Amino acid sequence: MQDIYKQFENFVLQTVSVQCPECEVVFATDMLAHTPNMTKDTPVETDLHRILPHPSVRAALIAMCPACLYTNWYSSFVEDSLIPFMAVAPAEVAFSKKFAHAVLTGRKIGAHHLDRALFALNGSWCAREAGEPCEKWLELAGQELESALADDSWTGNRSRYQYIMGEICRLLGDFHGAVRHYNQVDRKSQLPKSLVDHQRQEAINGNSKPVQLPPEYVEAIFFPKPINLDELLGTTQNQTHELKSS
Ligand SMILES: [Zn+2]
């Protein structure tokens, strides 16, 4: 019998059966059964993605139906009780290619440009984790993210995605585009200003290489301290309460 668990560092993949929402075929796929918690020492790059130990770990975030090629986040599939080796075998495609199918499915079902951009971005990270070139992925992610940012009805954290767009441009060597996007990042991004300034300077210096985030930035971005209202307003606890209720 095949082993249903695979481990990469402390990430655990489990082979399970799921049903395709499009064609109802039940197929076997790997899902992330355990993800180690992030700490400030978790490797993260300046485009805010966590570096994963193997491309199969990222590929397990999505599932691809081998019958109709419908591909989406794993969470959009329903688990089936059929034992995985009795189910239809998964499609044999490179890990990063699964994300290309996810972009295609996104187009087909009219998913928002942001969703499609996130699939393409994950495709670029997966390609890097597999040692493959990722320029085409970044170009695709950039196109989709530009369209998402141009959509006035979208209410996501635009400011943070302006920063991500700056990073995509910088990694593609489009330094003018990068600066233009970094300049549109404001406090709403909840990113340290020194990070945005640093990355803008990297673009001005012509650095198109990936940059790893120092632990203090990982901590500031991923483990933000609760805002201390007393400190911020110079008030006591009671006065703060009055402020909140008035
Ligand atoms: Zn299907």
Q: What confidence tens digit (pLDDT) does each residue in 152-197 have?
A: 998 889 999 999 999 999 999 999 999 999 999 999 999 999 999 9
178 CA to centre of ligand 1 in angstroms: 39
Helix (H, G, I), strand (E, B) or coil at 205: coil
Single-letter residue type at 156: G
Q: What are phi and psi of 35, to 5 degrees?
A: -120, 120
pLDDT for 3: 75
pLDDT for 231: 66
43 CA to centre of ligand 1 in angstroms: 35
19 CA to centre of ligand 1 in angstroms: 8
70 CA to centre of ligand 1 in angstroms: 5
Whether 243 shows a pLDDT value over 90: the answer reads no
Single-letter residue type at 223: F
Whether 26 shows a pLDDT value over 50: the answer reads yes
79 CA to centre of ligand 1 in angstroms: 14
Whether 16 shows a pLDDT value over 90: the answer reads yes
240 CA to centre of ligand 1 in angstroms: 55
pLDDT for 226: 75
Burial of residue 242 (number of CB atoms within 10 Å: 0-12, 13-18, 19+): exposed
135 CA to centre of ligand 1 in angstroms: 29
**What is the mean predicted confidence (pLDDT) over 123-140?**
97
Nearest to 73 by CA among 54, 92, 98, 50: 98
pLDDT for 224: 84
Helix, strand, coil share of the chain (percent; to 5):
45, 15, 40
- Average pLDDT score over the chain: 92
% of the chain beyond a pLDDT of 70: 91
Single-letter residue type at 1: M
pTM confidence score: 0.89
16 CA to centre of ligand 1 in angstroms: 16
Q: Cβ contacts of residue 172 below 8 Å, gap of 6+? A: 135, 138, 139, 142, 208
160 CA to centre of ligand 1 in angstroms: 34
Q: How confident is the model at residue 35 (pLDDT cuts 50, 70, 90)?
A: very high
Per DSSP, the chain holds a count of helices (H) and strands (E) of 10, 6
30 CA to centre of ligand 1 in angstroms: 16
229 CA to centre of ligand 1 in angstroms: 51
141 CA to centre of ligand 1 in angstroms: 25
Nearest to 16 by CA among 70, 119, 88, 92: 88
67 CA to centre of ligand 1 in angstroms: 5
Task: State how far the Cα of 47 lies from the Cα of 162, in Å rounded to an integer.
Answer: 11
Whether 244 shows a pLDDT value over 60: the answer reads no
User: By mean pLDDT, which of 58-62, 108-112, 153-157, 163-167 is the weakest?
Assistant: 153-157
Better-predicted residue by pLDDT, 1 or 171: 171
Whether 245 shows a pLDDT value over 60: the answer reads no
Q: Do the Cβ atoms of 165 and 142 come closer than 8 Å?
A: yes
115 CA to centre of ligand 1 in angstroms: 20
pLDDT for 43: 97
21 CA to centre of ligand 1 in angstroms: 7
Whether 30 shows a pLDDT value over 60: the answer reads yes
Whether 1 shows a pLDDT value over 50: the answer reads no
**What is the mean predicted confidence (pLDDT) over 65-71?**
98
